């Protein structure tokens, strides 16, 4: 069994605590990524989408998962199960020291997640405490103005990686 921890980082200007709108285990937050087949290595052409509140039942009984997908090339089935509780906000401190923050843990069988895409549903706050919600990061950045701190705020240079964890 291999678990993949999705780690994210970005350059934050006068901002901190970048995270999904309802926090680390936001049930409606969508994760977009491709799947690489564990059998033949084929990578799906389109991103697949999983979110915590959408589950599917596995054939052999008791458990549920978040995605079952067949490889188009070799027909091997892969599953992706999300494991909540591991995320934490990307703070300004982490960002400034070039570190990443964990977003979500995925238990993947028969497939490997690759190429995470940033989408909608993010929130962040300014260092002065102004909250920005409903942020769409699909264009790769976000810029606004903090009235309280009287300074521009910006998210840029988004990066994401799936790290193998035991």
Footprint of Zn ion on this chain (CB under 5 A)?
A: 37, 39-40, 42, 71, 73-74, 76
Contact 112, 4 (CB under 8 A): yes
Q: Which is nearer to Zn ion, 73 or 145 (CB)?
A: 73
Q: Which is nearer to Zn ion, 39 or 91 (CB)?
A: 39
Provide, rounded to whole angstroms, the least separation between the CB of residue 109 and Zn ion: 13
Q: Which is nearer to Zn ion, 37 or 94 (CB)?
A: 37
Contact 139, 10 (CB under 8 A): no
Residue the block writes with tokens 């260092």: 127
Identify the three-state secondary structure at position 92: helix
Residues 6+ apart with CB under 8 A from 10: 18, 90, 95, 155, 156, 157, 158, 159
């Amino acid at each position: 069994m291999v678990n993949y921890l999705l780690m994210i980082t970005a350059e934050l200007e006068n901002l901190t605590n970048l995270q999904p709108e309802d926090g680390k285990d936001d049930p409606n937050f969508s994760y977009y990524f491709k799947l690489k087949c564990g059998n033949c290595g084929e990578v799906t052409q389109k991103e697949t989408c999983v979110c915590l509140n959408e589950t599917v039942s596995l054939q052999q009984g008791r458990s549920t998962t978040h995605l079952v997908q067949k490889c188009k090339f070799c027909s091997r089935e892969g599953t992706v199960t999300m494991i909540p509780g591991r995320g934490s906000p990307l703070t300004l401190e982490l960002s400034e020291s070039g570190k990443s923050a964990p977003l979500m843990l995925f238990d993947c069988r028969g497939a490997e997640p690759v190429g995470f895409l940033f989408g909608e549903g993010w929130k962040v706050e300014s260092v002065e405490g102004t909250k920005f919600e409903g942020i769409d990061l699909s264009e790769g950045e976000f810029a606004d103005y903090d009235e309280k701190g009287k300074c521009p705020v910006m998210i840029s240079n988004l990066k994401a990686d799936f790290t193998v964890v035991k």
